[in-house]
Amino acid sequence: MTTPLALTLGEPAGIGPDIAIAAWLKRRELDLPPFYLLGDRDFMAARAQALGHDIALADATPATAISIFTDALPVVSTGHAVTAQARRPDASSAPAAIASIRQAVADVESGHAGAVVTNPIAKSVLYRAGFQHPGHTEFLAELAAKDGKVPLPVMMLWSPELAVVPVTIHVSLRDAIDQLNGPLITATARIVVNDMKARFGIQRPRLAIAGLNPHAGEDGSMGDEELAFIQHAVTVLQNEGIDARGPLPADTMFHPAARATYDCAICMYHDQALIPIKTIAFDEGVNVTLGLPFIRTSPDHGTAFDIAGTGKANPSSLIAALKLAARMADAAT
């Protein structure tokens, strides 16, 4: 890579700092792409010491990060001092987390970083500080807005064994059913196809479209959403030359033989997508935001306050997120 990856701090009282340190310690063993952390070097030094790691940390800029990365963890300052301790968010948590995200996006948009990799945030902490977005995905879409136009962000959960996309995301199941419609399904699928071509190197992505109801509605006897609009959405996609099939019964979509027949499963709601991938690849799953003008990946887990600062946090998902971000950046060049 000619530019490093921008890694956000995430919630400083959570495991984000822990797994950033753990990933950097495995940089040679796993041949990790160079990255820098956007945060507070003094805070990171204190966390490393608490974890029992005597590591080198260096003040950096995106331009110097690659040369520093081999010998020290590059830390690019956001100008926000962090006073939160492991498992104890405080008033410094939200400003530091938000500033880190904003600066990472700015670095990628200016060409100083190849992709944004985000550590987990604590939504409840951000909400108490006045954060107005349901989560990372929606905030990133706002940051990517141009001329008042906010892109449709699409959340993909990716692993080598399975890639899934929920059409509706962080809403109740009742609201998800109300929000579902044909145009939303087709818009989501088109973004998936475009990004899988441009950033995953898959020239003709194969999509499996799940039904909403048990047995994909059983010809309307268990719900009519499949007949009302899901089947039509699949037909629209097929007429556009997209390799899509469905609606398929969700309970038979995720066994090994079924997974071999598609590149991405388009699911109707959050848990329909996330339960199978977290069952199959809990430690290696990566959250990828599609539909943005920049690449963003993230570990597929939360802040894990209960183990922050204990040394028990598993960096595998962050490592997978860093590797996938580098792969996508290389494919896009």
pLDDT in tens, 1-26: 789 999 999 999 999 999 999 999 99
In the predicted structure, residue 147 carries a pLDDT above the cut 90: no
136 is in an annotated binding site: yes
β-bridge partners, 36: 6
Distance CA 67, CA 60 (A): 10
Check whether 332 has a pLDDT greater than 80. no
Place of tokens 């920049």: 294
Give the CATH superfamily of 1-153+293-333.
Isopropylmalate Dehydrogenase (3.40.718.10)
Could you read off the pLDDT of 63-99 as tens digits, one per residue?
Answer: 999 999 999 999 999 999 999 999 999 999 999 999 9
**Is 310 flagged in the annotation as binding?**
no
Does 308 score more than 80 pLDDT? yes
Of the options 3.65.10.10, 3.90.650.10, 3.40.718.10, 1.10.3720.10, the CATH number for the domain spanning 161-280: 3.40.718.10
Assigned token pair, 225: 């959403």
User: By CB neighbour count within 10 A (0-12 exposed, 13-18 middle, 19+ buried), where does 230 fall?
Assistant: buried
Q: How far apart are CA 266 and CA 210, in angstroms?
A: 6
Which class for 183: exposed (0-12), middle (13-18), buried (19 or more C-beta within 10 A)?
exposed
Average pLDDT for 288-305: 96
**Roughly how many angstroms between the first and final C-alpha of the chain, as a whole number?**
10
* Residues listed for the chain: 333
Q: List the beta strands (DSSP E) in the chain.
A: 5-8, 35-39, 57-59, 73-77, 116-117, 154-158, 163-166, 206-210, 243-248, 264-267, 286-290, 296-299
- Beta-bridged to residue 221, according to DSSP, are 223
Residue 181 token pair: 């419609």
pLDDT per residue as tens digits for the range 269-288: 999 999 999 999 988 899 99
Please indicate if the annotation marks 53 as binding a ligand: no
Judge whether 239 is annotated as a binding position: no
80 labelled binding-site residue: no
pLDDT at 203 over 90: yes
Which amino acid type is present at position 257? A
Angle at 313 between CA 13 and CA 121, to 5 degrees: 40
Provide the whole-model pTM.
0.94
Q: Residue 312, annotated ligand binder?
A: no
The Cα–Cα gap between 299 and 287 comes to 6
Beta-ladder partners of 206: 243
Residues of the chain with CATH 3.40.718.10: 1-153+293-333, 161-280
208 vs 163: CA distance, rounded Å: 11
Per-position DSSP letters for 20-83, written without gaps between them: HHHHHHTTTTTTPPPEEEEE-HHHHHHHHHHTT----EEE--TTTHHHHHTTSEEEEE-S----
